[in-house]
Amino acid sequence: MMFRKRILKLHPATLILLSFLLVIIIGTLLLKLPVSTRGGHITWIDALFTSTSAVCVTGLIVVDTGSFFTLFGQSVILILIQIGGLGVMTISVAMFRWIGKSISFRHRMVMQDVFAHTPREDILGLVKSTIFFTLGAEILGTIFLSIYWGQRLPFLNAVYTALFHSISAFCNAGFSLFSDSMSKYGSSIFLNTVMCLLIVIGGIGFPVLYDVQSWFKIQKNKRLRLSVQTKTVLVTTILLIAGGAIMFAFLEHHTLDESASLSHRILISIFQSITCRTAGFNTVDIGSLRDVTLFLMIFLMFIGASPGSCGGGVKTTTLALISAFTLSKIRGKKRVNIFKKSIPVEAVNRSISLILVSFCVIGIILFMLLMDESPGPHNISDNPRSFLAYFFETVSAFGTVGLSMGVTPELSTWSKLWLNITMIIGRVGVLTFSYIIVSNRSANGIEYSEENLMIG
């Protein structure tokens, strides 16, 4: 009883973090079982890393998923991906409703923090819609992918492969049963289209999907406008996908020119633009790309998905808000306006804080990785791209993307632990994690007389 009271007193942000940590621990124990691996053994750090990567829907791997884990181990990873993608609290609320139990005020507060940008009465309706939409999208994805792989693999193997990649794509996890991810299927228009749709829908945010669904359902005699949140996410997502694809095609035109057809080159560019923001699949060898292309991908990984989605990063709305804030200051305006709506000052301050704290987190983790790694094949003195590889790895973990230049399996135990922390921070949210550490006690402090300070 005392334990339950303490749990109920926890802030929603703390409750979310603890729920993720609990699932990660359970996943680690299950992956450690001899039945989970083909060789019957996996180190504790690799089991923890794999569990964290699955629950945080990242996709960074230290062992090959398809060849190292048994069907049981792969099933554990798939369940962890599904739980991590939807969120532990979302699933618990759905289970409570299913068995007929009432939802506590604390759970409602958690759902409010996860799914809503403004207070709303239909928060449980949003959660219900999220569950059904997720299952529906994953089932459709499984059907379409089964049609494709059914022509190349035995029936049961094709269905399982389709199910695994459908869930992994929608949850933006990036786990694949193939050692080269999706490289061998880079020329398939059908497969690339299905995968891209699953990734985009899963990363666009459940509040946006719910808003769009409500907009389509509304009767003709009523008028429902899409929220600023929805409009901002849709526009920013389209611009990032289009801009990323164009830039990728331009920067890698020498490599893409070697492809057999124009459609293949377009597919590769679009797929990488979409997947490097959230999902972590790849149809090209990441380590073979130019430094400038990798820098572009780092930027896209840092931005990540949209709020209330399966992906990480600082989110598309933050990029839009920072851009609007910069333009407003250049034009000498006091307020930040988006789609003829003024954004609260608090939201602008949070976006600036989010960017600054994110830079600090990435900088600290990168510093720890560089300091911890001993001389080896990826040491800076031996490989001039080593710094970029670690930087790429850190941002990929922070954005819960999962793309890698190939250094993950060679990392030391401490480096893997640092990336574990990074993935958890990226999935829970930087400001949420900061709030948990700092606590919710307001400290206004003492106000002194003002004195100006030179900037720039």
Question: With the C-alpha atoms ordered 370, 372, 378, 380, is the resulting torsion angle positive or negative?
Answer: positive
Instruction: Over range 286-310, report the average pLDDT.
Output: 90
Angle at 180 between CA 390 and CA 83, to 5 degrees: 75
The dihedral formed by the CA atoms of 198, 203, 206 and 212, expressed in degrees to the nearest 10: -70
Q: On the CB side of 218, how many CA atoms lie within 13 Å of its CA?
A: 13
Distances (CA, A) of 422 to 10, 48, 312: 23, 13, 11
- Is the pLDDT at 66 greater than 70, yes or no? yes
Q: Are 279 and 203 within 8 A, CB to CB? A: yes
Instruction: Over range 399-418, report the average pLDDT.
Output: 90
Here the tokens at position 409 are 């399996």
Which segments of 366-449 are extended strands (E)? none
Q: Are 317 and 307 within 8 A, CB to CB? A: yes
- List the beta bridge partners of residue 245: none
Distances (CA, A) of 24 to 28, 53, 180, 338: 6, 9, 26, 39
Q: What is the DSSP letter of 101?
A: P
- Is the pLDDT at 190 greater than 90, yes or no? yes
Here the tokens at position 39 are 């060789």
Give the pLDDT of residue 52.
95
Which segments of 312-444 are extended strands (E)? 336-338, 341-343
- Is the pLDDT at 252 greater than 50, yes or no? yes
- Is the pLDDT at 430 greater than 50, yes or no? yes
pLDDT tens digits for range 149-186 = 999 899 999 999 999 999 999 999 989 999 888 888 88
- Is the pLDDT at 213 greater than 70, yes or no? yes
DSSP string, 166-185: HHHHHTT----SSTTTTGGG
Here the tokens at position 384 are 């001039």
- Is the pLDDT at 303 greater than 90, yes or no? yes
Here the tokens at position 152 are 């190349």
Task: Kindly report the length of the chain.
Answer: 456
Give the residue, 63 or 258, on which the prediction is more confident: 63
Instruction: Over range 427-440, report the average pLDDT.
Output: 63
Here the tokens at position 185 are 């299927």
- Nearest partner of 394 among 371, 373, 372, 363, judged by Cα: 363
Give the pLDDT of residue 445.
60
Q: How far apart are CA 34 and CA 311, in angstroms?
A: 31
Give the pLDDT of residue 96.
47
DSSP string, 110-135: HHHHHH-SS--TTHHHHHHHHHHHHH
Report the predicted TM-score, pTM, of the whole model to 2 decimal places: 0.86
Q: Is 174 exposed, middle or buried (0-12, 13-18, 19+ CB in 10 A)?
A: buried
pLDDT tens digits for range 111-158 = 555 555 555 555 566 677 778 888 899 999 999 999 999 998 999 999
Looking at the chain, the whole-number percentage of residues with pLDDT higher than 70 is 79
Give the residue, 380 or 149, on which the prediction is more confident: 149
pLDDT band at 381, cuts 50/70/90? very low
- Nearest partner of 397 among 414, 417, 416, 419, judged by Cα: 419
Give the pLDDT of residue 332.
85
- Is the pLDDT at 390 greater than 70, yes or no? yes
Distances (CA, A) of 131 to 77, 89, 195, 209: 19, 12, 20, 12
Distances (CA, A) of 348 to 247, 342, 440: 29, 11, 20
- Nearest partner of 113 among 44, 15, 30, judged by Cα: 15
Here the tokens at position 139 are 């089932």
Give the residue, 239 or 444, on which the prediction is more confident: 239
- Is the pLDDT at 261 greater than 90, yes or no? no
pLDDT tens digits for range 67-125 = 999 999 999 999 999 988 877 556 555 554 554 455 555 555 555 555 555 555 555 66
Q: Could you state, in order of their start, the residue ranges of all structural domains in the chain?
A: 8-438
Give the pLDDT of residue 308.
78
Q: Are 51 and 73 within 8 A, CB to CB? A: no
Q: What φ, ψ does residue 112 adopt, rounded to 5°?
A: -65, -45
Q: Count the neighbouring beta carbons within 10 Å of the beta carbon of residue 396.
A: 31
Give the pLDDT of residue 91.
57
Give the pLDDT of residue 380.
44
